[in-house]
Amino acid sequence: MLVAMTRSNLRTTSLGPLFAALLAGACGSEPGTDVADTDPDPTEGSSTMQPTDPTDGVADTADTADTTDSTDTTGSSDASGSSDSSSSSGEPESARSLVLVHGSWMGAWAWERVVPELRAAGHEVRVVELPAHGADPADPARASLDGYRDVVLAAMDDAGEPVVLVGHSMGGMVISAAAQARPDDVEALVYVAAYLPQDGQSLLDLAFMDPGSLVGEHLIDNGDGTTSIEEEFIGEVFCGECSARDVMLLQDEHRPEPGAPLATPIALDDEAFGSVPRLYVRTSEDQVVSPLLQDQMLLATPADGEATIDTSHSPMLSDPSGLATAIVELLE
């Protein structure tokens, strides 16, 4: 029924014209010849928090980010983002292994302020760089939802134990696909202002349902199967409460978004995906995945726990401590 609703909303929502062009371009590509077929090397995607310099890690953009302490305890010179001094003296019983997955038009850099907060709470943290995002060199034309999923599966292999998958925005589709593929290796799914699909839905199906989103209004069709957000509106769309410095960071790190993964329907079933606990962090001021769409998705696919933070779409920038606290409390 939800898929049918998205089709009827296509003509009424502001997302319609631009996303229709994106959908046509994406469907004209060949997802089968994607990044998943180019040997997703775990050392290049699954846990790279340091896409340019192994000694920098997830904090390599801290110099340009408006954060309280860019020389904190991220311990991100470890390429896997695994354990560090916060847990070496003995992990609490509630310690978990977390894999963080970014959203569209972002990269692993987006989590840099949240990582030390989660580690300070005793958790082991890995951050993935999805193909054709951040500093990853993959060709956007070859990106696919399966390729994104495989990078996360590689990070799970690196962890060597059941993990908690945390997905922001588009990352919700990716962690859902990973849980469907390997449910026994996923302790829980945490959706942060994320798309939460049902079987057979694509991200675009869900986006068509969201008249409260500003994405369609400011979307640019690049004519090559990718889209971008109008630069002068990136701050308003993604982080209305962000500082000017953080808006500049969002603009500087913005890369064209591959269209094919967004148009790909996901296959989910109760036996696999449905067996993994789901938790959701709502963002009350969101203008990408609006509160209305969050309500609709959670009504269709209820979560086992929910939290709400009063931010727009990018709490990892505007309120990293609040986001980390919400994740930690949901996992307790």
Per-residue pLDDT tens digits for 197-210: 999 999 999 999 99
The predicted model gives 307-323 an average pLDDT of: 98
Helices marked H in the chain: 2-9, 16-27, 85-88, 114-120, 145-159, 171-181, 203-207, 234-238, 244-253, 260-263, 291-300, 315-318, 320-331
- Domains for the chain: give ranges and CATH numbers: 2-49+93-331 (3.40.50.1820)
259 contacts 227 by C-beta, under 8 angstroms: yes
CA distance 20 to 22: 5
Better-scored residue on pLDDT, 215 or 74: 215
In this prediction, residues 150-168 reach a mean pLDDT of 97
Overall average pLDDT of the 155-164 stretch: 97
Considering the chain, what percentage of its residues have pLDDT values greater than 90? 71
Is the pLDDT confidence value at 146 over 70? yes
Q: Are 122 and 91 in contact (CB under 8 A)?
A: yes
Beta 219-221 vs 186-192: how paired, if at all?
A: unpaired
* Of the listed ranges 19-23, 84-88, 275-279, 322-326, the one predicted with least confidence: 84-88
Q: Cα(207)–Cα(116) distance, rounded to whole angstroms?
A: 32
Closest CA to 121 of 93, 141, 142, 101: 93
The CA distances from residue 317 to 66, 179, 249, 286, 328, in Å, are: 8, 27, 10, 13, 17
For the segment 210-256, what is each residue's pLDDT rounded down to a tens digit? 999 999 999 999 999 999 999 999 999 999 999 999 999 999 999 99
- pLDDT band at 93; cut points 50, 70, 90: low
pLDDT at 94: 78
The Cβ-side half-sphere exposure at 104, using a 13 Å CA radius, reads 31
Residue 211 backbone zone (phi > 0: left; psi -120 to 50: alpha; other: beta): alpha
**Residue 313 carries which DSSP code?**
S
- In this structure, the number of other CB atoms found within 10 A of the CB of residue 181 comes to 18
Say if pTM beats, i.e. exceeds, 0.85. no
Decide if 273 contacts 189 (C-beta within 8 A).
no
**Which SS3 state, helix, strand or coil, does residue 188 take?**
strand
Closest of 163, 167, 120, 138 to residue 266, by C-alpha: 167
Of 28-37, 142-151, 219-228, least confident by mean pLDDT is 28-37
Helix or strand (DSSP H, E) at 220: strand 219-221
**65 pLDDT more than 90:** no
Cβ atoms of residues 50 and 57 within 8 Å: yes
Q: Is the dihedral of CA 141, 147, 148, 154 positive or negative?
A: negative
